[in-house]
Chains A and B, each alone.
Chain A
Amino acid sequence: MRLTLEAIESLQAVPDAIARLLRLIPLVAMLAAAITPAAFAMESLASAPLLLAAWHMTSGTFLLIFIIVAGLTYLVLKFHREVESRRYAERAAHDSRDQIEISVAAANLGLWDWDPVTDTVWTSDHCRTMLGLTGGTTMPREKFLDCLQGEERALAEARMKEAMITGRQCEAEYSLLQPDGSTQWIASRATPRSRRGGKPDHLLGVLMDITSRKQAEQEAVEQRKQLTHLTRVSVLGALSGALAHELNQPLTAILSNAQAARRMLSHKRYDISEIRQILEDIMADNMRAGDIISHLRSLLRKDELARRPVDMNQLIDGVLAFSKSDLVLKGVRVTKDFCTDCAMIEGDPVQLQQVLLNLFVNAGEAMNQMPMSEKSLHIVTEKTRAGHLRVSVTDTGEGISDSNLQFLFEPFHTTKALGLGLGLPICNWIIMAHGGQLFAQGNPGGGATFSFDLPLPIEVANEDTESSRVFG
């Protein structure tokens, strides 16, 4: 195929050489015109009339012969040079083809070239090895596509046709089922080319084996999911005491109410409205217990990122209510300073709750050694100048040492005796997945502030919200 291409190109080169030759004719004519007056000058000097006559007679013919000889010499020289340069170009082309083949094989790439006229595909050796194809370099397209199954095959066929029509490069990834049951991933990049100029008449493709990259990607996603799950479990483990307390409250109320009612009924005289009130209270506490359980379940699920409108203030209040016992047990005073009309964002409420929970638990733990009167947690939501929602959690704990600050978001870096060192990295991943950023800083007066920025909807981001702050 490459040879025919070159043959066509060299055929095209012959008329080209002739055209260049024709351009030389005016030059030769000018040369002749310059020689003729010189001949006339010689004539006036000559003494032999015969010679002069002969000169007169033959000068026109002589000039003609001279022109012809000069022209022919030029032509031969020119042709020789043309042949030389063509030979050199051929050698260079051969060299560069060798170089391409060596580099293509070294880069683990497969090459293919589809000719729609004959509907055949030329394939490089490496390409056939990658796709598990047997046979010669050129094969019908049907056979070439046999390496793909079902939907992917149809997709590949459609993409090839489309590329030929639009003339645009197309990129795709395909999974190939190997005989041993494993999956091989191939990335393909096809470029429509034209041999004669104008409309594309063949499709040149490069294949790359991306199996290891795909596997690494999938493993990373899987690992992150597991790690996220793991910290959720560990955060909940730390909170389990407080959680049990939270669930025990409604259970205590239900049991005591029911037993009180039974005692009342065993007396001869009892107040029926009191019994009714008891039943109402029992139902309310039952709902409360149910809510706590469903909340716990939602925190434990291994979900994908869901995007829903989320009211950050409500979310914070929800998590605070959930971790109330933990904070109360530790004697932490909680204050809030919420922005009223900039708290609506898009995000995964469960994952954002996880971030808040983690920050609250960390803040609580950082204040363990402080006297109770100095334990306080301050939570602020506000709009930044850049039009983001910023949530800041400030504690009055030990603060962050400079040496820890730089490793804060590194996995497996922990200052806690029983910590996994995964809480903050996962918070960071979650916030990044929401298009935001998590920051930490030690405060000059002691304690630390953790804050994150999340993008606000555009219309809210552009509003001026200076006057919309409330203090709670």
Chain B
Amino acid sequence: MRTPSPLVYLVDDDPSVLRAVKRLLTAGGFDTKAYSDPALFLAEHNPATPGCILLDMALPGLSGIDVQSKLAATAHRQPVIFISGENNVPATITALKGGAVDFLLKPFDETVLLAAVRAAIARDAVTREEEAEAGDIAARLAGLTPRERAVFARVIAGRLNKQIAADLQIVEKTVKVHRARVMKKMGARSLAELVRLAYKYGLVDKEVASGT
């Protein structure tokens, strides 16, 4: 699957700042889309595009924090870097609690800006990769039969084949067959790998709960 090149969304109500920072980001090698109106940005913003969002704190109508909380409702959202002319501690705390990855104080140097954007994009890429993997695992899990799921849940809970056979009132040999299929369908080469996958994507509690 080919991933589209990362895009930097820039939102600032000051046209002069908007133009200058867009130039700098472009010269720094980033595709940039600039918005002076936060409402227009929210309407046009595509959460599926990898990249990051540079958001000014003081925006007319909707504040930067408002925009951030509206973005939070969408899936696959890009990391938000706040830019602000004011060293406002409460606003900074709110922004960071809301998941902002960085907070740049205007006027900022190109190295600071570009490094922050680069880090945010890298972080976004990692998140997207993990999300993709999680989606993949979920798809694999969906391919299991109900019986296989029941066996899977007990395997990762650490129960022995004999115990599972007793639980499900089937013979141990059948358990072994199911177990081999689960390993194959989930793409795990060892029990350890299966458990790791289950833990990583939070399947343990869910499956154990549904299986028992």
* A residues adjacent to B (C-beta < 8 A): 241-242, 244-257, 259-261, 263-264, 274, 278, 281, 284-285, 288, 325, 328-329, 331, 372
Contact = CB atoms under 8 A, between A and B. Distances in A.
A263 B63 contact: no
22 contacts: A241-B88, A244-B85, A245-B84, A245-B85, A245-B106, A248-B86, A249-B14, A249-B106, A250-B16, A251-B107, A254-B107, A255-B108, A256-B20, A256-B110, A257-B19, A257-B23, A259-B110, A263-B27, A274-B23, A281-B19, A328-B58, A329-B63
A95 B24 CA distance: 98
- Sorting the interface of chain B by its residue count into under 10, 10 to 19, 20 to 34 or 35 or more gives 20 to 34
A397 B41 CA distance: 30
Contacts, number: 100
Nearest to B104: A252
Contact of B85 (A249, A255, A264): A249
B21 interface: yes
B44 interface: no
Contacts of B108: 252, 255
Interface string B64-95: 00100000000000000001111110000000
A320 to B, nearest CB: 13
B155 to A, nearest CB: 53
Given A249-B17, A264-B27, 20 more contacts: A241-B87, A245-B86, A245-B106, A248-B106, A248-B107, A250-B16, A251-B107, A252-B20, A253-B14, A254-B20, A255-B20, A256-B107, A257-B20, A257-B24, A260-B20, A263-B27, A278-B20, A325-B85, A329-B57, A329-B63
B85 A253 contact: no
B26 A249 contact: no
Contacts of A251: 106-107
B104 to A, nearest CB: 10
B87 to A, nearest CB: 8
B63 A253 contact: no
A130 to B, nearest CB: 62
Contacts of B14: 249, 253
Contacts of A252: 17, 20-21, 83, 85, 106-108
Given A241-B88, A263-B28, A281-B16, A255 B23 contact: no
The 6 closest A-B pairs by CB, nearest first: A245-B85, A248-B85, A263-B27, A256-B20, A260-B23, A259-B110
A241 B86 contact: yes
Nearest to B13: A328
A290 B126 CA distance: 45
B27 A260 contact: yes
B165 interface: no
